[in-house]
Structure 1
């Protein structure tokens, strides 16, 4: 299989990205979030929300997709850091999802690598992200990519169940 190719997402990609986001969440968060919540996720509703956000085109927010063999197989979004407590010149990785059947095939690495490259080129000194504390697979992925937990944890709740998040950071080079 060819290496994933990363490009900027277009509005036309919202439906496929929603399938990846919902499928990725249902796969990655199984056992970490209430199953009824995961089962209730709707790709069509997610696509509509994503189209709305995409059309709003917030400054500095970038949606990237990864393609293999002509099919979109992953999605990533980064932009300005939403946490006011971080140093200036910081970016935030908002989300990264890969089609579960492509997990472990380098899709996430290709997306994250391009995101880091673009954030560095834009003059960001560091990149932050939030990950579910108990999502060991995702935490290992980010740690292999040079991110480290910085000791900040936030409460997060889904359908009445606590699923705390931890913050990770990676220093970037210009």
Structure 2
């Protein structure tokens, strides 16, 4: 799954938490992320320059702990070692 892979990559890059934003009125996206363990972290806004005046986009910020469960080497997560056979 694409989302799980992104979470794994964020963890492997040394981050403990990932975050993303969803447009306030996008209930299907909000439900999707909540079903996958993301928690609503509060409102957010982004100003977008549009001609002579900025537009404001109202968002929900979501966050998720992505603490890596793979071995750590020198303070940095590394890919797990796969072994075959006994």
- Scaled by the length of structure 1, what TM-score is found? 0.33
Does residue 111 (structure 1) correspond to residue 2 (structure 2)? The answer is yes
2:65 matched residue in structure 1: 171
User: For the residues of structure 2 that align with 1:170 and 1:118, how far apart are their CA atoms?
Assistant: 13
Q: Identify which of structures 1 and 2 has the higher relative contact order when contacts are C-alpha pairs closer than 8 Å and 6+ apart.
A: 2
Larger Rg: 2
Taking structure 1 as reference, are residues 162 and 152 closer, same or farther at Cα in structure 2, changes over 3 Å only? closer
Which runs of 5 or more residues in structure 1 are unaligned?
A: 1-109
Taking structure 1 as reference, are residues 114 and 157 closer, same or farther at Cα in structure 2, changes over 3 Å only? same
1:148 matched residue in structure 2: 39
Moved over 6 A (4+): 158-161
User: For the residues of structure 2 that align with 1:161 and 1:121, how far apart are their CA atoms?
Assistant: 36
**How many residues are paired up?**
65
Task: Please give the root-mean-square deviation of Cα atoms over the aligned residues, in Å.
Answer: 2.2
- Scaled by the length of structure 2, what TM-score is found? 0.63
Which runs of 5 or more residues in structure 2 are unaligned?
A: 69-86
User: For the residues of structure 2 that align with 1:143 and 1:170, how far apart are their CA atoms?
Assistant: 10
Higher strand share: 2
